[in-house]
Structure formats: structure tokens, C-alpha cells
Amino acid sequence: MGNNDESFDNPGFTFDDVSKDKCKYKREPTTGDSKSEVVCNTSSPNGQENEPLTKRVLQETLSVLRGHSDLFLVTFSALLYSVKSLFTAFLVETMDPFQVVVMLMPVMLTGSSCFLVYKKICPPKNVRLYAWMLFGSLLVSATLFFYSLSLLHMDPGDATTILYASLMFTGILSWIILREPLRLSDFVNVSIAFAGVVFICRPPFIFGTSDKDVSRGRNILLGSCFALSASFNVALLYTVVRKQSTLGIHAFVSMFCSAIVVTLSNVIICSAVGGWQIPGLKEWAFATGGGFSYFGAQSILFFSLSEKTSTYVNIVMTSEIVFTFLLQFMVLNLAPPWTSYIGAVLVFISFVGVALSKKRDQAVVN
């Protein structure tokens, strides 16, 4: 070649788009004296030449979404739980908490029974299994009732955050019931979670009395006690569910049994205390929305736990706290105080610490 083509004497040299007609000069590494290859781009200048790149980016994005679809489902489950909390907060303003729990159950009962029939899942045949399901169902009933009561005296975001402080009790209950070891890190995480609960409770002897809470007729300390009671029931329920899984009880069988027991127990108690009221169309709409949100969240969470390790699911589920605070601000127009932010962060740190400790223990065992 001449002096103007010296750059093409190097094998493997590639020089693209040097001419106005967008021809590409390209030479593959060869041992002979072959000439350089000229490839002209004949695509029209209307943007079609970018289509392969756009398609590739879209395919890579879809691939990433498919690879993390279970975590997205867990996040959606957390969103549904926060929506259920919001509907419950609306209902307890005008309805008795026992009746609110009853009104949330028809969707759960119908959905779980349809799933059992569709999947042809047989009920347990051992009386011992029914005893464990009854115990778990009573815990679900108590959790829903105490959580509904807590919403009478505190904001949904604060009540949800305290509910996630259940890990304060989970380690102790697992040590008592399942004979799992109790380590120093468990006490550290419990202390952090307890500090977060104190910031959320805002005891009057530490933070003083809030004029806003007094004007709304609320008792934050009483609401925190109800939320802590629900949190304790959740911790005990976690332990019972783990025991049920070792006994081979299907999650939807347990869900169906819980819907029946929760409905019957709250109907009896609501009748005894005379708390029945005739709900209006708005209350039925809130109850239906809360029921669908609760059943959807439970179902998605069960599917996610079957696809992903519980460590990641537990960590991602803490996004329910964020969603609840956002919905509380956007829908109820309630801005949480600064103590709630600090408490939520401390509870989140404790929750993540416990989840990572469990993951490390599982890795050591394996």
C-alpha cells in the first residue's frame, strides 16, 4: 500500500466510519497479503441503526428483572401489607376492632379454599397437626386484633415499625421452643430494637406530652403496648410457622385454617361485647380492599419464600415500613415526628442484623 494506507499494514487494525458515506474499513489478521475489507453501512439515517442497541438494552433489562423477580414480588408484598394497614386504620375509626378483623377474613377464606381445591391439596390427617394449626390461627387472630387496637392510638407507620420489632422476641422464643442457641449478637440487636421502640413510643417522662396527640384523643403509650403485644404474637407465630413447615403443613392449609378460626373467634367475642354495627358501603369497600391486600401479600410472600432464602425476604420486607410512612403522609396527611424516623432506622438496623446473623449461622451449619 501507499503511504496514505500505512495504518492498514498492522494486522487486526480496525478503523470505522471515516468516510462521509459511513463505510467501514476493516482488516482481519491474516498471514497473507490480502486487501483490506470495505463494508458500507446502507442503513437509512432515520434512527433504525439504533434499533439493535435499543433491543439489546431492553433484553438486558428484562433479563435483570427476571433474575430478581422474586425480590420484586417481596417488595410488592410489603406494599400490599402497608395498603392493608391503611384500610384497617380507616375501618377502626368507625367500627369495633373485632368486627374489623371479621370483615377482613372473607377474601382470605375464599381465596385459600379456591387454591386448595385447584391444587388438590389434602388436609392433614394427624390430630397433632391440627393442634399446631389451631395454635397458629389463634396467634393470627390475636395479632390482627392487637394491631387494630394500636391503630386507634397511633399512626400506621409507628404501629408497623413496632410490629417489625418482633425480632426482639424471636431469638428468645426460638431458644425456648426450638432449642436454638442465644448469642451476644442477639442481645445487641434486641437492645437496638428496644431503643427504636422507645423513640416511637415517646414516653411522656422522657419526651414530654405532645399537644397533637392530646388534641386527637390518642394515647401513644397505650397504642405502643398494643403494638408490642401484636409484635410478640408475630414472633411466636414465626416460631410456630417454622414448626409447621417441619411437620409438612402446607402454607395455604394453614392460611385456610387461620381464616376459619379468626372469623369464629372474633364473631364470638364481638357478639359477647356487643360491638356489632351495620357497615356502610364505604366500610365494605375498605374491608374488601384490605382483605384482597392481605391475601395477596400472604400468597406472594409464600411464593417468594419458596424461591428465595428467608434472609433476603426478611430484609426486603422491611420496606413495608417505608411504604406505610409514605401512604400515611400522602393519604392521611400525617407527617411522622423526628422520633419516628430515628426509631424506624434503629428497628431496621436490628432487623437486618438478626437476618444476617441467621444467614451466617446457616452457612456455618452447611
Q: Which of 104, 89, 77 is nearest to 320 (CA)?
A: 77
3-class DSSP state for residue 313?
helix
Note the pLDDT of residue 11.
Answer: 43
3-class DSSP state for residue 216?
coil
The residues with which 14 forms a beta bridge, in sequence order, are 26
Rounded CA separation 322/160 (Å): 10
Instruction: Inform me whether the pLDDT recorded for 42 exceeds 60.
Output: no
Rounded CA separation 321/323 (Å): 6
pTM reported for the whole predicted model: 0.71
**Tens of pLDDT along 350-362?**
877 776 776 666 6
As a whole number, mean pLDDT of residues 44-72 equals: 58
**Tens of pLDDT along 131-184?**
888 988 999 999 999 998 888 888 888 888 888 877 667 767 767 766 666 677
CB 311 within 8 A of CB 355: yes
Q: Pairing mode, if any, of strands 37-40 and 14-15?
A: unpaired
Would you kindly state where each structural domain of the chain is located, as residue ranges? 3-43, 69-365
Note the pLDDT of residue 13.
Answer: 41
**Tens of pLDDT along 330-344?**
888 878 788 888 888
Rounded CA separation 88/83 (Å): 9
Does the CA dihedral 323-326-328-330 come out positive or negative? negative
Note the pLDDT of residue 126.
Answer: 83
Note the pLDDT of residue 302.
Answer: 77
Residue that wins the pLDDT comparison between 301 and 305: 301
Q: How far is CA 352 from CA 122, 238, 332, 339, in A?
A: 37, 16, 29, 20
CB 304 within 8 A of CB 73: yes
Rounded CA separation 24/343 (Å): 62
Q: Which of 364, 360, 356, 290 is nearest to 318 (CA)?
A: 356
As a whole number, mean pLDDT of residues 119-138 equals: 86
